Amino acid sequence: MDAARRTAISNTLARLADGDRSAFAILMTDLWPVVLAFARRTVREGADAEDIAQEVFVKIASRIADYDRSRDGLTWIYAITAFEVRTHLRRLQRRREVPPIAEDAEPADTAPSPIDSIIDEEVSTMLAGALGELSDADRALLGIGEGSFDVALSGTAIRKRRQRALSKLRGMWSTFYG
C-alpha cells in the first residue's frame, strides 16, 4: 500500500477519534477488503474470516480512543486483526479439545492398539539406553534409579543440576536417535 493511502487511513482514523462518525463508513469501505484478505490468508475459511473482519471493525469503533495519532493507522488495524485472528484460532483450539459427547454414546475404548504398544515398548527401550549413559547422580536427580543426590544442596542448586542432567539426556537422545 502506498504512503498516500496509508496517510489517508491515518487521517480517517484521527477524524473518527475526533467524533466524526462518517469517517467510519469511509474506513470500512477502504479497509474491509484489506482486513478480510488478511483474515482469509490466515484462517482460510470464508465465513470465519468475515466474522473476524466484523470483530476488527467493532474493536476499531470501541477502541478508537486508544488510537495513537503519531503512529501508522494501518499498522494499528493490522495489529487488531492479528489479535482477532489469534483469538479465533484459540477459540477453535479449545472447542476441539473437548468434543461434545452424546448422552447415548458408548464410552471410548481407551486400551492402546497393538501398534501403540509396540511404539511404547521401542521408545521405552530407547529411553533406557539414553538413561544408561548418564551417571548415577544424574539419574537420581531425574528421579530414576537407585542412586541419591546430596540433600544438603539448596533448591536452586538441585534445579540447576536437574537442568544439566536433562540437557545431557537430550544430548544423548539426539546423538543416538537424531
- The span from the CA of 164 to the CA of 152, in Å, is 18
Does the structure show a pLDDT above 60 at 105?
no
Q: Which pLDDT tens digit goes with each residue over 160-170?
A: 888 998 898 88
Does the structure show a pLDDT above 80 at 100?
no
Does the structure show a pLDDT above 80 at 146?
no
Does the structure show a pLDDT above 50 at 101?
no
The terminus-to-terminus CA distance of the chain in angstroms comes to 45
Give the mean model confidence (pLDDT) for residues 13-17: 89
Q: How far is CA 168 from CA 70, 139, 155, 158, in A?
A: 50, 11, 20, 15
Q: How far is CA 13 from CA 22, 34, 133, in A?
A: 11, 16, 63
12 touches 69 (CB < 8 A): no
pTM of the predicted model, to two decimals? 0.52
Give the mean model confidence (pLDDT) for residues 37-53: 86
Give the mean model confidence (pLDDT) for residues 16-39: 89
Number of alpha carbons in the 13 Å side-chain half-sphere of residue 167: 6
23 touches 16 (CB < 8 A): yes
Most confident of 3-7, 37-41, 52-56: 52-56
Residue ranges of the domains in the chain? 3-97, 129-177
- The span from the CA of 96 to the CA of 86, in Å, is 15
Does the structure show a pLDDT above 90 at 56?
yes
Mean pLDDT, the chain, as a whole number?
A: 82
Does the structure show a pLDDT above 90 at 20?
no
Q: Which pLDDT tens digit goes with each residue over 57-99?
A: 999 999 888 888 888 888 889 889 989 988 988 888 877 654 4
| CATH 1.10.1740.10 at 3-97, yes or no | yes
- The span from the CA of 68 to the CA of 89, in Å, is 27
Which one-letter amino acid corresponds to residue 63? Answer: R
CA dihedral 34, 35, 39, 44 (to 10 degrees): -40
pLDDT band at 50 (very low <50, low <70, confident <90, very high): very high
Q: How far is CA 136 from CA 97, 142, 143, in A?
A: 40, 10, 10
